[in-house]
Amino acid sequence: MAEVSYSSLPHRFGRIARVLSIGLSSTKKRLSGLFPVVMCLGLLAAQGPASAQGMRIDITGVGDRQIPIAIAPLLTSDPQNRALAETVIEVVQADLRRTGSFSILPVGPQNPPLSENTAISVGLFGQWRSQGANALVVGSASRTTDGQLEVRFRVLDTLKSEDLGGLVLTSQVSHLDARRSAHRMADYILERLSGEPGFFSSRLAYVRREGRNHILVIADSDGENAQPALRSTQPIISLAWSPNGDRLAYVSFETGKPVVYVHELASGKRSVVANYRGSNSAPAWSPDGKQLAMVLTRDGISQIYIANADGTGLRRLLRSSAINTEPSFSADGQFVYFTSDQTGSPQIYRVRVDGTGRMERLTFTGGFNARPVISPDGKTMAFVARRDRKFLIAVMNLETQEERIVSSGPKDDSPSFAPNSRWVIFSSRVGDRDLLSAASIDGRVRSRISLDAAGIRNPAWGRIPSPPQ
C-alpha cells in the first residue's frame, strides 16, 4: 500500500487514493495472515531518541531581505553552565538560519563581556551598527537557588537604537531542556525583529520506516529530540494534530483495515473513533478540537463525515455520487475543504459545515489538485498539484485565488502548515528515498530534513501542548 507508484493507478479513484495513501483491496490481501505488532508509548515516559541515525537539514534560498544579527555568547560564571549556554546559542542560530531571513554575524570575545545587564547607550548601538549588525542579542545563563537553569536575554535594535525587550526562561538542567529554552528564545527574536510569529517551539509528527516496522515519531521543529509514540508492523498514515497539541489523530492498518484512532501523546492512551465497514481514513480536526472530519466508505463510496472527537454523533456532510475525500476545516470552523472528482478529475471544493449553501470549486488550473489544508490564520490553502507530470506543493491565497508552486517535486505530498502559517512541511520522494521538506509560503526558502537511513513520511506540524487549566 505505502509503495504505490504515481503512474500505476486507475484513472479515476486511484488518483485520489494515492493522495490518501490508501489502496484498500490490495492492502487487505497483503495484510491477511499477518499478526500485527503494535506498541504504544507515552512520550513523557519514552526513554532515549527514536533513532541514533544522523539527521541533516539542508537549506536553500533566502527571504526578500536578510537581517544581519549578532548573538553574543551567554555570560556564565559557572563552568557547569557553559556547555548548556553554548547549546542555547547554537540552537538559536540554527533556528534563525532556517528561516532564510537572518544572516548570523560572528561575535568574538568581548571586554567587558556582554549580558542582559549591559548598559544601553548610544555608543553601544553605534558600535554594533558600524559592524553591520541590525540587531544584537545579549544574555546570560545561571543556576537558580533550586538548581534550575535560568536563561535571561534582551534583543536590541541597533538601527532604531531601541531595546526590544527579552525573556527569563527557566528549565531543568539538561541538554534537552536547554534546547527547548533556545527554541523559545528564537521564537521571541523572530517575532520582535520580523513581526512574524515564531514556530520553533512547535513539534513535528511523522512516520519513519525501519524494515517492516512503521514508527510514529514526535520531534522538535528542527527534527531533533525524536521520540517514538507508536511502533507497528502495519502502515500508519494521515497524521493530524489536535489544535492544542496534546493529541494526534491518524489511520492505522494494524487490524488489517484502515481505522481512525485518537492518540493522547503524554499517556500513550489510544481510542478508536472510526471503525466502520470498509475504509476509515483522513481525519481532520475542527479548530476548537471538538470534532473530527473523516472519510468513510460505509455507504460504498468515499464520503466525508463529521463526528465528535470521541467518534459519537456521526453525520454525513454531503449527498453525492462523486468521490469526496481529504477534508480540512477552515480556520473559523465554518467550512470544510475537500477533494472531489465530480467533474471527472480531482479538484478542490469547499462546503459549509452546517450543510447550507452550495459547493464552491476552488481549483481550475491543471487536471489534478488534491489534499487541501488550510493555514491556521485562514488566509492560505496548501495542496498537491500535478504540473508537467510532477506532483508539487502549491499554495493559494484564499482572498485573491492566486496560486504559487513552492516545491520542486517530482513526488511531493502531505502538506501541513506551521503554527505561524508562514511555512509548509511535506513529504518528498527523491530517488528511492522518502524525506521531509519545508518551504516558506512565498517559495523563496526551502529546507530538507533527511536521515542517514530509513524513509520518513506523512508529516504533520503541531504545537507544544497547552498547559493544564
Element (H, E) at 219: strand 213-220
Q: Degrees (nearest 5) of the Cα angle 216, 170, 70?
A: 90
Alpha carbon 14 to its chain's center: 27
Residue 425 — very low, low, confident or very high, per pLDDT cuts 50/70/90? very high
Quote the mean pLDDT of the chain. Answer: 86
Structurally, how many domains does the chain consist of? 2
Residues 367 and 365: their CA atoms lie apart, in Å, by 7
Does 1 fall in a domain?
A: no
pLDDT of 30 over the 80 cut: no
Does 49 fall in a domain?
A: yes
Q: Which of 428, 434, 386 is nearest to 411 (CA)?
A: 428
Which of 174, 194, 214 finishes a domain?
194
Regarding whether 187 and 83 lie in a shared domain, the answer is yes
Regarding whether 77 and 21 lie in a shared domain, the answer is no
CA end-to-end span of the chain: 42
Contacts of 271 (CB under 8 A, 6+ apart): 261, 262, 310, 311
CATH code of the domain covering residue 130: 3.40.50.10070
Domain region containing 427: 13-55+202-462
Regarding whether 179 and 34 lie in a shared domain, the answer is no
Regarding whether 41 and 90 lie in a shared domain, the answer is no
Does 289 fall in a domain?
A: yes
Alpha carbon 300 to its chain's center: 33
Does 6 fall in a domain?
A: no
Residue for cell digits 476548537? Answer: 288
Does 452 fall in a domain?
A: yes
Q: In what order do the strands lie in the sheet with 149-157?
A: 102-105, 67-71, 135-143, 149-157, 162-171
pLDDT digits (tens, 9 = 90+) for 149-176: 999 999 999 999 999 999 999 999 999 9
Q: Check residue 42 and give its pLDDT.
A: 55
Which of 194, 228, 249 finishes a domain?
194
Regarding whether 206 and 189 lie in a shared domain, the answer is no
Cell digits of residue 210? 525501519
Q: Check residue 210 and give its pLDDT.
A: 86
CA dihedral 447, 452, 454, 459 (to 10 degrees): -20
Which of 150, 169, 194 finishes a domain?
194
Rg (CA), the chain: 23
Instruction: Give long-range contacts, CB 8 A cutoff, 24+ apart: 423-427.
Output: 423/199, 423/461, 424/382, 424/393, 424/395, 425/204, 425/459, 425/461, 426/382, 426/393, 426/459, 427/456, 427/457, 427/458, 427/459
pLDDT digits (tens, 9 = 90+) for 370-408: 999 999 999 999 999 999 999 999 999 999 999 999 999
Cell digits of residue 189? 527574536
* Cβ atoms within 10 Å of 244's Cβ, excluding its own: 15
pLDDT of 358 over the 80 cut: yes
Regarding whether 219 and 157 lie in a shared domain, the answer is no
Regarding whether 302 and 160 lie in a shared domain, the answer is no
Regarding whether 231 and 139 lie in a shared domain, the answer is no
Contact 284, 270 (CB under 8 A): no
Regarding whether 180 and 240 lie in a shared domain, the answer is no
If DSSP codes are grouped into helix, strand and coil, which group holds residue 381?
strand
* Cβ atoms within 10 Å of 403's Cβ, excluding its own: 18
Beta bridge partners of 143: 149
Residue 275 — very low, low, confident or very high, per pLDDT cuts 50/70/90? very high
pLDDT digits (tens, 9 = 90+) for 81-119: 999 999 999 999 999 998 888 999 999 888 899 999 999
Contact 384, 412 (CB under 8 A): yes
Q: Check residue 40 and give its pLDDT.
A: 60
Residues 269 and 155: their CA atoms lie apart, in Å, by 42
Regarding whether 166 and 123 lie in a shared domain, the answer is yes
Stated length of the chain:
469
pLDDT of 46 over the 70 cut: no
pTM of the model: 0.85
pLDDT digits (tens, 9 = 90+) for 431-457: 778 888 999 999 988 888 776 556 788
Cell digits of residue 388? 508537467
CATH code of the domain covering residue 220: 2.120.10.30
Residue 52 — very low, low, confident or very high, per pLDDT cuts 50/70/90? very low
